[in-house]
Amino acid sequence: MTKADIVNEISKNTGIEKITVQKTVEAFMDTIKVSLVKGKNVYLRGFGSFIVKKRAEKTARNISKNTTIIIAEHFIPAFKPAKTFVSKVKTNVK
């Protein structure tokens, strides 16, 4: 499902114009992005959490040059679904 599909589905189910729904969905995503960039997690009860994970420094290999490189400690965005969400997917997806 794409963002356009989500906008169409919400518009169809609520009767709100697609343009308004699109702006709302984009504002929602921007708010989550800004919060994660600031290091703040976003919790949506019953759905899941958008969190910032810390990745430790590690040693890796550049296979083409056969050299060792150090990947610095960094942060990545992640999504952790709520337990109720996970259980619904486990029992309903075939």
What is the predicted pLDDT for the residue at 82? 96
What is the predicted pLDDT for the residue at 39? 95
Map out the domains of the chain with their CATH numbers: 1-40 (no CATH), 43-93 (4.10.520.10)
What is the predicted pLDDT for the residue at 10? 96
Q: Is 7 exposed, middle or buried (0-12, 13-18, 19+ CB in 10 A)?
A: buried
Question: Could you give the CA distance from residue 87 to residue 77 in angstroms, rounded to a whole number?
Answer: 23
- Looking up tokens 């518009």, which residue turns up? 11
Query: For every residue of 52-92, which 3-state class applies, written as one string?
Result: EEEECCEEEEECCCCEEEEECCEEEEEEEECHHHHHHHHHH
What is the predicted pLDDT for the residue at 94? 74
* Digitized pLDDT (tens) for each residue of the chain, 94 residues in all: 999 999 999 999 999 999 999 999 999 999 999 999 999 999 999 999 999 999 999 999 999 999 999 999 999 999 999 999 999 999 998 7
